[in-house]
Structure 1
Amino acid sequence: MKRLALGLALSLCVSTTAFADGPALRIATEGAYPPFNLTKPDGTLGGLEVELANALCERMKRTCTIVAQDWDGIIPALVARRYDAIMATMNITPERAKTIAFSTPYMVVPAYFVAASNSGIDGSPQSLKGKAVGAQTSTTHYRYVEKHFGKDVTLRSYDTAGNLLADLKSGRIDAAITTGATATDWVKGDESKSLKLVGKPLVDADVFGPGVGVGLRKEDAELKKAFDAAIASVVQDGTLTRIAAKYVDFTVTP
């Protein structure tokens, strides 16, 4: 499947939350990766990370506008100062850290393979050998397949999780790799019961890093300190746990 054209243009989907004082911030999310970030039918943004972003802004006493940005352009647009931070289920990795800075982790999310129920795929290298595997482009999931399966599979890239799921359900790929929460939503939402989670949670510290963090420009050291303090606050008082419980059935606390 051809990837959609890259671009730095922001979508019209925004969510603004105002608090007492401090410079206003613009925070980017993808708006296409439920349950972490999504675009509602009315065009507004929602999901675990949008609610968490608002909680962090409250702790920092900042007015925040949350905007949607296509994944492929999300780091370049940050560097180009189109917004001030990224909260889009972005794992902290050495490769990304060459370009941007990160807050301390605010979430740890396992990854899984999903395949057709009758495929015989169990997540092992043997069962995936010769198969077509899909992953969202420029993600740690994509790099995981590259590292662990190499040329033993045909790796196909997708611009959004929605398009990845569409090709999995249509049989154009044999398996997909995504976060555990997204994978669980796919399986639960499949009325035909044609999809299943396969194997165990995928672990590789070198690929997935220590967790998901807020993406920031390297020069914004004071903003990083503010996010770090706010993240510590929502973790310590249980706010993160309460927000996450609305969206996922596993612990995301780093």
Structure 2
Amino acid sequence: MRRCWLGLFLLPLLCRAAEPEPLRVMTDLWPPFRMEAADGTLIGLDIDLLDELSRRSGLRFEIERAPWARGLAALEQGRADMMTGLAKTPERERYIQYLETPYYACSPRFYARPSVASLLDRYDRLRGLRIGYVLESAYFPRFDADQALDKVGVSAEAQLLEMLVRKRIDTLIGTDCQVDFALLAPNLAGHIVKASYQPQARTDLYIGFSRKRLAQLPRVAAALSSMQTDGWIARAAMRYHEVVVQQ
């Protein structure tokens, strides 16, 4: 009898021990993919994505909000498991293992006040302008590598929009998925617009794992593949606005 009671006592402990630890996901605000609700919780397409990945894979995710550069550093150092919304670059591939296919795509665009935007009709018009960008972000190779431009780096997109309104920068670079959504705000609509110049580039968004913490990558990859096959991501994007629906 004592042995039976011992078995009943140990069984829940053994089951809990067999469960994988939650994956630590680094992220920052990037509407409409990651936004802060009134109660302080995170919402958005990427949060929905993680919830559905959890449901399909049986894994749990613990989301930690931090500036983008700090999140990348956590992956490089092996202090976190993964990030969403990652653009692929050779530098990042040293320490990030990307899932095979992107789950979404945006386009890099420049934004400015209307008087500047209409004149910014080709790349070389960027010379002499103060250009805001997010530190450690990847936009398109020519811009990313251009040391001659007057670039002003900040930690978050929201800072760039405020700086542009206050004329502390002349233009900013961002991805249309995110900035177009932000410009729906009444205080920004019409005051900031897309520049005429459009880079011939596309920003694919990936899920990436720290190369030091790859154990659960296959389970996440299998769950994401099933979501792409059945159209879950396209349907989820419709909840936010047509500007985030991939064309």
TM-score interval for Structure 1 and Structure 2 normalised by the shorter chain:
0.7 to 0.9
Residue 143 of structure 1 deviates from its aligned partner by 5.8
Residue 133 of structure 1 deviates from its aligned partner by 0.7
Select which of 126, 129, 148 maps to 2:127. Answer: 129
Question: Whole-Å Cα distance in 1 between the matches of residues 106 and 205 of structure 2?
Answer: 8
Residue 214 of structure 1 deviates from its aligned partner by 1.5
Gaps of 5+ in 1: 1-20
Q: Who is 2:34 aligned against?
A: 37
Secondary structure, aligned partner of 2:91: helix
Q: Tell whether the 8 Å contact from 2:163 to 2:169 is kept in structure 1 after alignment.
A: yes
Q: Tell whether the 8 Å contact from 2:120 to 2:197 is kept in structure 1 after alignment.
A: no
Residue 185 of structure 1 deviates from its aligned partner by 2.2
User: Aligned ranges for residues 77-96 of structure 1 at < 5 Å?
Assistant: 77-87=74-84, 89-96=85-92
Would you identify which runs of 4 or more consecutive aligned residues in structure 1 move more than 6 Å? none
Q: Who is 2:232 aligned against?
A: 239
Question: Whole-Å Cα distance in 2 between the matches of residues 68 and 28 of structure 1?
Answer: 8
Select which of 156, 159, 164 maps to 2:152. Answer: 156
Question: Whole-Å Cα distance in 1 between the matches of residues 194 and 63 of structure 2?
Answer: 32
Matching of residue 180 in structure 1 with residue 176 in structure 2:
yes
TM-score (norm 1): 0.79
Give 1:181's aligned amino acid.
C
Q: Who is 1:212 aligned against?
A: 205
Question: Whole-Å Cα distance in 2 between the matches of residues 99 and 248 of structure 1?
Answer: 34
- Identity rate, percent: 21
Secondary structure, aligned partner of 2:133: strand
Q: Tell whether the 8 Å contact from 2:108 to 2:175 is kept in structure 1 after alignment.
A: yes
Q: Who is 2:7 aligned against?
A: none
Q: Who is 1:48 aligned against?
A: 45
Give 1:167's aligned amino acid.
M
TM-score (norm 2): 0.81
Residue 145 of structure 1 deviates from its aligned partner by 2.3
Secondary structure, aligned partner of 2:39: coil
Q: 1:27 to 1:47 in 2, by over 3 A?
A: farther
Q: 1:46 to 1:27 in 2, by over 3 A?
A: farther
Q: Which of the two has higher C-alpha Rg?
A: 2
Question: Whole-Å Cα distance in 1 between the matches of residues 67 and 164 of structure 2?
Answer: 21
Root-mean-square deviation (Å): 2.4
Q: How many residues align?
A: 226
